[in-house]
Structures are given as structure tokens and as C-alpha cells.
Amino acid sequence: MAHHILITGGAGFIGSHLADLLLREGHRVRALDNLSPQVHGPEGRRPAYLAPEVELMLGDVRDPRAVQRALTGVDRVVHLAARVGVAQSMYEIVRYNEVNNVGTATLLEALIQDPVERLVVASSMSVYGEGLYRDGRGQTVVAPERSLEQLKRGEWEVLGGDGEPLRPLPTPESKPPALASVYALTKYDQERTCLMVGRAYGIPTVALRFFNVYGPRQALSNPYTGVLAIFSARLLNGRPPLVNEDGRQRRDFVSVHDVARACRLALLGQAA
């Protein structure tokens, strides 16, 4: 069965790959995107990589009229539109709350009036803060946030209550959130608000916590894009990547193609 799907932020990195996947399966795809200059450049043109079959509607997710127009005839929604970047969120506090929180609230109010069959919202691994750890006694522990004084001393390891270094473990979804940035706070707000409203109004809703996504179409010119794109941009310009702390920290990276497939599964509920 073919669906008519809206992707907010659909002209961006993840959204355009998801659109390709959905189009190949015969679905109709509409993208609501404001073509942010930080991502798409000052010209505000439709990106060349966006499939011509995608119906692109220029508009801001904070604009109720634009959202209502974008939802016309749609039966499923993937909500990707957001401001991204941890560091930038710490000084553009109003902007991040406006786009991420108010934008999501605007979409949800429109969905209350015009419900869809399913909503998928992009959250972030940033909601976990420090990952899960095991102490010297073999107990699983939620690590405390490293203090500024500890970091100033160049002591990078996460320490337990007795001062011993903790051993990192794979972090499950059940780990309590530890929100260490404005960005993390807004992503947690997005996922919880969508799940709450979806439950209240009978809209099946899924929140996906993306880790560091990489792949083609990632904006190398955006200083707040993913770390692999930042490393790539420096290497392409003959400069070494900058690695903070002692270089022994661990990160999970996920291909944008896998993220697109995950979105599709959450949206449609069955394998291709």
C-alpha cells in the first residue's frame, strides 16, 4: 500500500536519503523545509541531491499555516526539522527552543486537528549524557558528570564515588537521561512531547535516538555538523583533525543509509 508521507526537514541530510528510500517503494513524499542558510547556503535553492519527485514546500515548522498546508492529504509524518549541534545550542538558547520545542509543538497542534496514521520523531543520543559504566565491584552504575575542575586538571576518565575510573559499557535505552546541553534538553523535550501527545490523541508515535550519523550529503561547510564531516573537511583541506582530551574517548557512528532504513521501518512497520 502506498502512503503519502511528510518529512519535516526533508531537504536535509537524513531526510533526503529517507525520501529516496520511500520513493523507490512507490510512496508519495512531501518535504517541508526552510532551506536554512547554515545547511543549504545563502542562496536558499532546492538542493541538487533532492529527488525531483519530492514535493518541496518552503516553510518554517514554527508557522502553523505552513504546517497545516504541508499536512494536507498526508497520512504519515517523519519529524526531522530541528536545530542541531551541542556547542551552538549553548549560546543560541532562544533559537534552539523556538525551532526544536515550539516547532514540534506547532506540528503536534496541527496533528491534533488533522491526525495521521503514524508519527516518527528524531531524537538524539545526546539525551544519555555520559554512557553506562561498571565499577570495580562489577556493579552497573550511572556515571556522574565530570566536574569542570576535573577537566581543567586534564583528568579525562569518568570516576566513581570512591575516585576509581569506571569501565564503559554499551548504553541501553533504559539508561536515565542526563541532559548536559540545551540541545540535549530540546531533543528530550521533542521526543517526550511527541510520545505524550501521540498517546493522548491515538497517534502511534516512535522516537528514534540517532547517534553520530555520517554519509553523503552531510554539509561539510556547517561547523556544527557531525564530527566525521568535520574531520573530513579538515583532511580535504590538508589539515589534521582536532581531537580533544586524550583521544581515547569512544563514539558510535551510524551510516545515514541505516538511519533511513530505521526511519522507514518505524514509519511503515514492516520490512521491505
Integer Cα distance of 121 and 195 in angstroms: 9
- β-partners of residue 124 are 210
C-alpha cell at 161: 564515588
Per the CB < 8 A criterion, the answer to whether 256 and 14 are in contact is yes
The SS3 call for residue 187 is helix
Which of 56-70, 129-143, 181-195 has the lowest average pLDDT?
Answer: 129-143
Residues 6+ apart with CB under 8 A from 110: 64, 67, 68, 71
Domain ranges of the chain: 4-128+177-218+252-268, 130-172
Q: What is the pLDDT of residues 255-264, one digit of tens each?
A: 999 999 999 9
**Cell 538524539 belongs to residue:** 124
Residue 54 vs residues 48, 74, 264: alpha-carbon distances, Å: 12, 13, 16
C-alpha cell at 186: 530540546
Task: Tell me what the mean pLDDT of segment 54-82 comes to.
Answer: 98
Query: Nearest to residue 186, comparing CAs of 126, 145, 110?
Result: 126
Q: pLDDT at residue 271 above 60?
A: no
Q: Indicate the average pLDDT of the chain.
A: 93
Integer Cα distance of 76 and 209 in angstroms: 19
Q: Which long-range contacts link 50-54 to residues 24+ away (Cβ below 8 Å)?
A: 50/10, 50/11, 50/16, 50/19, 51/16, 51/19, 51/20, 51/23, 53/23, 53/29, 54/10, 54/11, 54/16, 54/19, 54/23, 54/29, 54/30
The SS3 call for residue 156 is coil
Integer Cα distance of 38 and 116 in angstroms: 31
Q: What is the pLDDT of residues 239-256, one digit of tens each?
A: 999 888 998 888 889 999
Q: Which residues are catalytic?
A: 183
Task: Tell me what the mean pLDDT of segment 208-221 comes to.
Answer: 88
Query: Nearest to residue 204, comparing CAs of 77, 59, 86?
Result: 77
The torsion angles phi and psi of 114, rounded to 5 degrees, stand at: -140, 75
Domain made up of 4-128+177-218+252-268: CATH architecture = 3-Layer(aba) Sandwich (3.40)
Task: Tell me what the mean pLDDT of segment 155-170 comes to.
Answer: 88
Q: Is the pTM of this model over 0.85?
A: yes
Q: What is the pLDDT of residues 73-89, one digit of tens each?
A: 999 999 999 999 888 99
